[in-house]
Amino acid sequence: MNLLPDGALDRLQEGCRTIGSRCNQLGISQWEVVASQSYGHQIDIEGGKISLAGGGGEGGYGVRVLEDGKFGFAYLVDVKSADEAISSAISIARMSPSIAGFVLPSEQSAKKVAGLFDKSIIDLDSEYLLNQADAIISEVSSLDTRAVVTGGGIGVSANASSILTSEGIESGGLTTSHGVGVQVSIEENGQLTSSWQSKSAKSKLPNVPQCIERAVEWAQLTRDPIKVDHLEDDSPILMTSEGFSPLFSVVVPTAIKGEKLVRNESFWSGKMSENVLSSDLSIIDDATVESGKSSGSRDDEGVPSRRNVLIKDGKLTGSLWSTRDSAQQISEGRIESAHTTGSAIRSGHQSPPVSGCSNLFLTSSKKSHSFESMIEVMGDGFVINSVMGAHTANPTSGDFSVTSSSILRVENGEIIGAVKQAGVSGNMANALQKGVFLGDDVRPQGSYSSGTMYVPNVLLTKGIRVNPV
C-alpha cells in the first residue's frame, strides 16, 4: 500500500473550493483557505534495538478572513464544520485592530521548484524501515564493537498541501521526506560518551547515511578527556556544522526579519546598508533551491518564492517580510515602505502566516577550507561538535552562553584530546564580524526558529570564550 493515498491532493483542493465558496456566499470580501495532509511511517530505536514501529496521518484546513484591514483566523478538520470555523474567524476579525493598507496578495505566476517529491519514498513501508534500522544498528557495531545506538529512529513522510484565495491564487503540491537520526553511545571502563547525528532530505536516503559514521566517530573522539587549565581570554573555536547551526538558527533568522529590524529588536536594527559581518561573508535566503528542505514554488501566503540577498559582502542589504507584517509596520509608522519578500511561513494549517526564512545560506567570497586546514589556521583553540542550551541564546542582542560535552582541545594546530565539558559564551553578531573562516562541506541542518540552515564548519577567531570544567 502506498504511503500517500490516491487522490489525496485532489480531495484537499476540492475541500478548499468548498470552504472558499461558502466564504463568497457569506459576503466575505477577502479570504484565504489553506490545507495540509501528512502521512508517515516511523521506526524508533532504543538500547540497540527497534522499540517501536508506527504510522499515521494528520491534517486539516485553515481559514483567514480579511475585512477593512482586520483579519481573523480559524482552523478545522472536516469541511462539514466550515460554517463554524468561518464564523469564528469573522468574530476574531471584528475584535481585531485594523491595519491600514493590509490586503491579501494577488495571483502571480510562480515557477516550479524541482526535487521536492520522490515517488520512491511513497512506496516505502514499515518493513523497509525495519530493515534499514537493522542495517544501521549493524553498521554501528561493525564500526566499533563497543558502540550502541541508544536512541533515535527513522521516518518517511509524504505531505499534500493546497492554498486557495479570493484574489485568484490556487496552488497545491506534494512533497516527501526521509530522515534518520541516531544517538550513538560507547560505555566502557566506567566512561560513557555519546554523539547525536542526523540526516534528512526530500529524496530517499542511502540505506546507511554518512551521519551514522560521524556519530560513531564523535563518540570515539570524545573519550578519555584530558585536563585543560581554565582560560581567561577569548579562544578560537572551530564549530562543526552540527555545533554551529543551533546557535546560528536561534539568532540570525530572527535578526533579519523586517519587523524585528524596524522595531529595534534586532542587533542589526538601524544598520541597513552598513557593514555588519566580515566583508567576505554573505547571507542569502533562497526558497527556490532545487531539493531544498524548505523550498517551494510559493510561500505560505501563495506569493511566488524567491532568492533574497540579506547580507552581501558583509553589508546588510535586505530583510524578510510577509504581507501582514509589512503592512502593519507601515501602518504604525515605523517604516515608509515595505513589501512581502515571499517569506511567509506557517507551522501548519492551524496557524496564520508570519515572516520567516526558508533555506538560509552562509557563504564566503574567499576560498573555503578543509577541516584539517582550519585546525592548522586555528593554532590553539577548540573544536565543538554540539552544544546544549542553544535555545537560550538572545536573538535581540546576539549573546549566548551554552555548554558542550562534545569538544576537543587543539594545540599547535593538532587535536591533543577531548575535554570533558566546557562552557561556551560570546556574542554571535560580534564573532561574525572578523576573523571568520568557512569550511568546504555544507551540511543542511534543522532550525530552532524557522527554515533550514545551510552552513559549513565555521572557524571563529574572535569574541568567544571557552571555560573548561
Q: What is the mean pLDDT of residues 364-382?
A: 95
Beta strands 422-427 and 452-455, pairing class: unpaired
Q: What is the mean pLDDT of residues 90-101?
A: 95
Average pLDDT over residues 66-95: 96
Q: Is the model's pLDDT at 232 over the cut of 80?
A: no
Q: What percent of the chain has pLDDT over 70?
A: 100
456 burial level (CB within 10 Å; 0-12, 13-18, 19+): buried
> Is the pLDDT reported for residue 53 higher than 90?
no
The string of pLDDT tens digits covering residues 240-283 is 999 999 999 999 999 999 999 999 999 999 999 999 999 999 99
- For position 448, what pLDDT does the model report? 80
Q: Are 46 and 151 in contact (CB under 8 A)?
A: yes
Radius of gyration of the chain (CA): 24
Average pLDDT value over all residues in the chain: 95
Give 145's contacts (C-beta < 8 A, 6+ positions apart). none
Residues of the chain with CATH 3.30.2290.10: 8-130+151-181
Q: Which three cell numbers stand for residue 161?
A: 498541501
Q: How many H-runs (helices) and E-runs (strands) does the chain carry?
A: 10, 22
88: its cell numbers: 469564528
Residue 230 has pLDDT above 80, yes or no: no
Residue 412 has pLDDT above 70, yes or no: yes
Quote the pLDDT of residue 4: 85
pLDDT digits (tens, 9 = 90+) for 297-314: 999 999 999 999 999 999
Q: Rounded to an integer, what distance in angstroms lies between the CA atom of residue 46 and that of residue 356?
A: 35
pLDDT grade, residue 461 (50/70/90)?
very high
Q: Is the pLDDT of residue 126 over 90?
A: no
Contact 331, 407 (CB under 8 A): no
CA 412 to chain centre: 36
Q: Which three cell numbers stand for residue 254?
A: 530572527
Backbone angles phi, psi at 23, to 5 degrees: -60, -40
Residue 1, pLDDT score: 53
Q: How far apart are CA 193 and CA 195, in angstroms?
A: 7
Nearest Cα to Cα of residue 317 among 271, 267, 273: 273
Superfamily of domain 8-130+151-181 in the CATH hierarchy: PmbA/TldD superfamily (3.30.2290.10)
Distance CA 89, CA 85 (A): 6
pLDDT band at 449 (very low <50, low <70, confident <90, very high): confident
Higher-confidence residue of 36 and 53: namely 36
Residues 201-222: what's their mean pLDDT?
Answer: 97
Q: Which pLDDT belongs to residue 52?
A: 82
| Spatial CB neighbours of 453, under 8 Å, sequence gap ≥ 6 | 245, 248, 249, 360, 362, 444, 445, 446, 447
Cβ pair 163, 9 in contact under 8 A? no
Residue 146 Cα to chain centre, angstroms: 33
Q: Which three cell numbers stand for residue 129?
A: 524501515
What does the pLDDT average to over 338-365?
Answer: 95
Least confident of 36-40, 226-230, 335-339: 226-230
CA distance 110 to 182: 38
- pLDDT at site 210: 96
Residues whose CB falls within 8 Å of the CB of residue 427, separated by 6 or more in sequence, listed in order: 397, 398, 399, 400, 463
Q: What is the pLDDT of residues 159-194, one digit of tens each?
A: 999 999 999 999 999 999 999 999 999 999 999 999
pLDDT at 279: 96
Is residue 169 within 8 Å of residue 302, measured between CB atoms?
yes
Question: Mean pLDDT across the stretch 432-451?
Answer: 91
pLDDT class of 197 with cuts at 50, 70, 90: very high
Confidence of residue 65 (pLDDT cuts 50, 70, 90): very high
